Amino acid sequence: MNMLSIIAAANEAVIHAEDITMNNDAFMDFVLSSIREYAAVFFLFWGLFFMFVGALGVYRLPDVFHRMHAASKCSTLGVLGLMLGVILAVGTLSITTKAILTVVFAFAAVPVGSHLLAKAALKDGAPKWSGTITDEWSKSQTAPTDMD
């Protein structure tokens, strides 16, 4: 073997190593992209599951207070799952920002809204389920009958 053939063989090995590196990078991009897509699908189905359970709870539960509980708990978890799925599926900065703001707003507004609706239903005298064990508001001195 002369020196020229050794240099040619080394050059060929370097080119082949670069091809392997390029193939590994493409493979890793494919793997990471697939993981992100599967995670997005998982979170979308997670959000869909909680939304479905909340809708089923609103349909099946006996009184307004139980129904409100199902609607508020499941909608906050459902929105969280759906927005996480959107963030992973789309992944742009503007979509991520909007999704995070949506989750923050939902986590702040839904519990407050359901609490106010429950107080209004209590003040209005909404019928309670016959299996209700205790009603702390009716025993309280500050029951919401004096709300304006």
Could you report the per-residue pLDDT of 22-53, keeping only the tens digit for each?
Answer: 567 777 787 888 899 999 999 999 999 999 99
Q: Kindly tell me if the per-residue pLDDT of 58 is higher than 80.
A: yes
In a domain, 21, yes or no: no
In a domain, 63, yes or no: yes
pTM exceeds 0.75: no
Domain that holds residue 44: 38-125
Instruction: Please state, in angstroms and as integers, the Cα–Cα distance from residue 5 to each residue in 1, 2, 9, 15, 45, following that order.
Output: 6, 6, 6, 15, 60
CA dihedral 76→80→86→92, nearest 10 degrees, is: 120
In a domain, 33, yes or no: no
In a domain, 101, yes or no: yes
d(CA 117, CA 121): 6
In a domain, 100, yes or no: yes
CB 121 within 8 A of CB 65: yes
d(CA 79, CA 23): 39
In a domain, 2, yes or no: no
In a domain, 104, yes or no: yes
- The total of structural domains in the chain comes to 1
In a domain, 42, yes or no: yes
pLDDT at 88: 94
pLDDT at 130: 74
pLDDT at 3: 62
